[in-house]
Structure 1
């Protein structure tokens, strides 16, 4: 065992349930963009990492990738829509006397063509099966903030539907569960233990002086504290993605393409890759100093940051793994790193925390979204009160309503009325299902196919 510490990189992969719920600007194209710019190119990075990177897939993301018709619509998006929009922007740039911008738009359009070719090469299992080969962690069924779920029965439903879905699709599960939004409260721990959860991540940045040591909870799983100092190198104001050579993800052409770098120059792919190599070397050196003498640095990132919000993020990740191997920094899958790092007892009286800003549940239950939080809790009680009369349709609409995404999007005010419309729609559909149990309504399409009303009735 190394005298020095270790690094665990955890990629949390999640998309709101948008399959069949709108296209542009808010809806299914979010999923298609993530597939093209993140999930498909991620496959090669994971293969090169040789199991050193922990991949978590939320059940709700898997539900969408498995939904009938998604593969065909995704290919049409890549081969038709994106080909057309890149061609239109390139033509406009040339007409404006900016041939260098036109050339970059055309180069970037090749990303979508390559993604389409790779998707078609994946065979019958498609993208989902390819990702599941690497995914060892899962999450709750629809990414609910579990400390805000009203009852133990509701938490059990979220956990069991998500875990059973992962087992059915992946054929295995080792007990690693991503708490949605890293939202943790000690009262959840016995329910996590009951569900078979052996380890989860928590954000105790403002609670713990030492985030480099796992915690053994009294009544449940190992708690792996996130190392915010390491994460902030990647994901904070002024972090690596802000470097001048990287692609500017905010400045857009008419059809929302990004041919500029952060410093205002025309984007240069080679220059950006060189920057990614330098930032990877800097990251590895900083983490090595941080864990010198022992400990575990858990760097958890939303997978969608890498490739979509930070265009070069996957280049950086591959370079981090390679640089760590060259320099001797031990990078392990989180399960292996936890097994190799002694834990200490979790302190008593931990508060409810999350990786939101601040590290509380405010993003999902503050005054700006309190109506959404209360509506979801009240709806849960309505379904429980209905008992055996609550059918699968009602239960699936409840799961859809409990998603953390609606409150997050509303708090951040980044998608107009869409999140509130979605929450209101699922609440109305839930009440319709309770009023007329047994009637078919395809509103939730492929969501939570492994959920069973019996999951609400006990362990």
Structure 2
């Protein structure tokens, strides 16, 4: 086994994103997705990061930040916890007891405490003036495009610039903007300024969607590093996955390491263990009381399993880095990137697992490093030296191409978005600048979420209805010409449009 300083380090990257659902529907789709993510993932994770998470790399999409900063959001979230989750747990507990299932009732009463703690936490954040968005301020290091558009599918350089500039401006204004005057209030919707945490150019490509023609535009926007999925290009498990690449025209391309990630995020990964809580089986009011093995959920046994899985993850990562460092002849860098919502929401025990990983890393001698810091220590290999052929367009979709967002089933959405982009940013629109309303509706149309949900059959008619609604609103805005009025239909979306 190599010495810890020789083997290299692990970067844990959590990509935090929620589609723009604020104000667009409730059950079964819409704002309730956001409320559940806040209650079961974001607030518990932020408590962990506040205690000890300085070395975890957190990306936060501008479209999620837009929603967390929306006026009245905390009140609506608190009302959901008090009026919906508290009541649905009460009804399900009573129903289980009437059916003679005391063990289910007891588990539901325990689980209801998760939502009570979330309520107490959000109320405390509101009292101290930070709010939901402010809780992210010490941790949100990487940003993304304005509305999580798959950038290789955009039709114009102007469209890419709009997504990049709006997203980066949002992040900088909220998380590393100028400090407010002494004694003065923060700007509306802004988290407390944090000059010590200034953005360092880290940018999460939505869906890891990368094409070489994007690199100059990324560099122009100030992006210095992106994560890419080159599993099919470099080979799964290849040591080439363990070093950053230098693009010819732009930022560092940092491969995510599926040999590490799939220990966590795959059909056979840790969350599938029989002791963990089943995400897919519900009570009448959409609560969960069963384990993956079909037994009544045992939280103590599940936490113990999370510790065992954390120890296994760290041991396997050390072995991966040791082998990689030996092959590379220098310390290796493994990037384990997952959607933040996996932790606590989809995988109920995921935050317990993450904390145990931090414990085990210290015990076993694994360095966990913030990705921005790690990239200062690992020399980049020029893309031309690492690859025998030109770099293709890649994503982390299934398969690792654009088909999740442009295959025949969703091609109409892709073509509609491109046609609207051309009308809005090119042709006659170039002579008459589009209104802010038109730009905001275009950004909403371009979100990756609508095609993803259709392809994965996740939300019934909701994504098509949302795409059609934003397209119609964009058509109306274009017909109105340069009218600067904004009727607020897209609420708090993209308030940092480029001027």
Task: Give the TM bin, normalised by the shorter chain.
Answer: over 0.9
SS of structure 2 residue aligned to 1:431: helix
**Is 1:216 aligned to 2:246, yes or no?**
yes
Shift of 1:414: 1.0
Match of 1:35 in 2: 38
Who is 1:169 aligned against? 174
CA deviations on 1:396-428 (whole Å, 9 max, x unpaired) are 000000000000001001100100110010000
Contact in 2 for aligned 1:48/1:318 (Cα 8 Å):
no
Q: Please tell me whether residue 373 in structure 1 is matched to residue 414 in structure 2.
A: yes
1-structure distance, mates of 2:480, 2:212: 38
TM-score by structure 2 length? 0.89
Q: Is structure 2 residue 434 aligned with structure 1 residue 390?
A: yes
Equivalent position SS for 1:201: strand
2:453 paired with 1:409: yes
| Structure 2 CA distance for aligned equivalents of residues 129 and 224 of structure 1 | 29
Query: Is 1:58 matched up with 2:61?
Result: yes
Deviation per residue, 1:112-147 (Å, 9 max, x gap): 000110111112221111112111100000000000
Which residue does 1:296 correspond to in 2? 333
Q: Which residue of 1 aligns with 2:404?
A: 363
Q: Distance in 2 between matches of 1:75 and 1:408?
A: 29
The aligned counterpart of 2:89 is 86
Match of 1:105, SS state, is helix
Deviation at 1:263, TM superposition (A): 1.1
2: CA distance, partners of 1:64 / 1:414: 21
- 1:249 maps to 2:252: no
Aligned pairs for 1:152-301 (under 5 A) are: 152-171=157-176, 172-208=198-234, 209=238, 210-292=240-322, 293=325, 294-301=331-338
Distance apart, 1:155 and its partner CA: 0.2
Query: How large is the RMSD of aligned CA atoms in angstroms?
Result: 1.0
CA distance in 1, matches of 2:496, 2:408: 34
TM-aligned CA distance change 1:409 to 1:50, over 3 Å? closer
Of residues 115, 118, 125 in structure 2, which corresponds to 1:115? 118
CA distance in 1, matches of 2:377, 2:145: 26
CA distance in 2: counterparts of 1:260 and 1:169, whole angstroms: 40
8 Å CA contact 2:436–2:486 kept in 1: the answer is no
CA positional deviation for 1:390: 1.1
Per the TM alignment, residue 50 of structure 1 is displaced from its structure 2 partner at its CA by: 3.9
Equivalent in the alignment of 2:193: none
State whether structure 2 residue 467 is matched by structure 1 residue 440.
no
Q: Equivalent residues in 2 for 1:305-344 (5 A)?
A: 305-344=342-381
Q: Helix, strand or coil for the counterpart of 1:331?
A: coil
Unmatched runs of 5 consecutive residues or more in structure 1:
455-459
Q: Is the 8 A contact 1:389 1:434 kept in 2?
A: no
In structure 2, stretches of 5+ residues that fail to align are 177-197, 326-330
Q: Quote the offset at 1:52 in angstroms.
A: 0.8
Give aligned pairs, total: 453
Q: Could you say which residue in structure 2 is the equivalent of 1:101?
A: 104
